[in-house]
Each structure stands twice: as structure tokens, then as C-alpha cells.
Chains A and B, each alone.
Chain A
């Protein structure tokens, strides 16, 4: 297995969906190729960083207001002039910041 072959299998390797018959070859390549080892290590870090950082929270008070606005719109379905939108500007200040 060369680096190009390895790269083609990278996502399957991360996702645990790689053909078991190829797993030993992939592991052997990783042991012998420092560049691919770095790519695996840094790509894994990339995914982990985003999983940890990009968990956008929706505070309960904002969720309540959004839900209330959604349900008001649904109940007035078919009457666009009566549709009510939740104005984010009216949300508590903390709701507009990233948590």
C-alpha cells in the first residue's frame, strides 16, 4: 500500500468501516510512513476540536420563545398576514452570545 492508496481509505479508517482485509495493510503503512501518520493524527485532532467547540447551545428561554413563535405561526397557518415571528433582538442578551 502506498500513500495514495492509504489516503483513499482514510475516511473508512476513521469511521471504522474499512474492509477488515485491508486493515492490516493500513496499519502496516502507518507504521512505516511518518507523513501519513501525521495526516491521521492531525485530521483526528481536527475532527475532535470541532466536535468539542462547535456545540452551539440553545438556552432554554430562547428555545421557549422560538417554539412559542413557531406554534403561533402554525396555528395561524394560511393567514400570512397574521404570522408572528420571534425577533431575536428581543431575546435575553446572553442568548445571542455563543455558549
Chain B
């Protein structure tokens, strides 16, 4: 199908759009945390892919190539939102936060019993939105979109050890931040 699209078959390209549009939309929304931005980015990703189809050599999966474009477009969108701050895969990843667990409180009863579905959703959204983009992106691709470590590394232009390191720290930072809400005592969030 990719070869047909490269040969100029727009019908084949439309089939590819149909196949991957949801994955690209989700990836963009995870990174930007904004639905309208994700809709715009989805358009831009496929348009750019169409323009640059001849540069796709088939050394990676087509979906990984699209995800890479989506990540770049999403980070660019975040950069535009924060005109005075740089937003990149490397922003804030040097932080030590979460690298050493500090909160050992258990989450019992299960947080889902203590919070309504909408409250849970709000807590999860606020928490992941506060994560540095470089960590949020790795967590999204690996743990939510289920890309392999190698695919994530390829999509982000990182080494496999860098992906592993960022994934661990992203998971621990999210855990630590959620713990402020879900610890079994009824303390208010810090």
C-alpha cells in the first residue's frame, strides 16, 4: 500500500490514513493534552507524510515513521503555546524528581472506589499534563500506545537505554504524583 501511495495512488494513501489516523490522533492528544490541537496535528502529519513519501525508505514501520512526525508536530505545537520557553524531548528530563521513590503509602482501598470516574479522569489528566514533555511522550508511546522500546527509540530519535531510563523515571514520577491523591490516609493533596 505504501508503495502504491509513493507511486501517486491517492486512494492507497487514503487507505493508509484510515488505518493510522486514530493512532496519530491519540499520540498528538497525549502529548498536547488538547483535542483541537490533536485534530489539527493529525491533518498536518498526514499532509507532511504525503509530501515526503519519497523519503520513506521502508527501514522502519510506516506507522513508526508517522509517529515520529506526530511527535515532532506535537512538540512544535507545545512550543508555540509557550512562546518564551523551549519545549523539546530534552526539556526538564534532568530533574531528579521521581527517580528515587519517596512515598511508600499504599493505595487502599482502590482509588477507583474513592473517586468518581470524572474525578479520576481529572486527576490523571492533571498529573500527566504536569510531566515534562520528554517523559510524557515516552510514557505515552510505551505504556499507552504499546510501542516496543525499539520502536519508541526509533520514533523519538533516542537510544534504547535513553528510552528505558526515561520510561522508568516517567513511571515513577507519575506514581509519586498520583500518590499525593491516592495514599490511603485522607490527607489533602500537597
Contacts and interface: CB of A to CB of B under 8 A. Distances in A.
Nearest to A4: B100
Contacts of B30: 54, 56
Contacts of B13: 71, 74
B76 interface: no
Given A53-B120, A53-B121, A42 B39 contact: no
B129 to A, nearest CB: 11
Contact of A96 (B36, B100, B149): B36
A98 B121 contact: yes
Per DSSP, chain B at the interface is helix
Contacts of A70: 17, 42-43, 46-47, 50
Contacts of B154: none
B164 interface: yes
Contact of B18 (A12, A43, A67, A75): A67
6 contacts: A35-B101, A38-B106, A54-B30, A56-B26, A70-B17, A74-B47
Interface of A: 7, 10-12, 14-15, 34-35, 38-39, 41-43, 45-47, 49-51, 53-56, 58, 62-63, 66-67, 69-71, 73-75, 77, 85-86, 88, 91, 96, 98
Given A12-B164, A74-B50, 18 more contacts: A11-B171, A38-B104, A39-B101, A42-B106, A42-B175, A46-B174, A50-B124, A50-B144, A58-B26, A63-B21, A66-B43, A67-B17, A70-B47, A74-B47, A75-B10, A85-B40, A88-B40, A96-B35
Interface of B: 10, 13-14, 17-18, 21-22, 25-26, 29-30, 35-36, 38-40, 42-43, 46-47, 50-51, 100-101, 104-107, 110-111, 120-121, 124, 128, 139-140, 143-144, 149, 164, 167-168, 171-172, 174-175, 178-179, 182
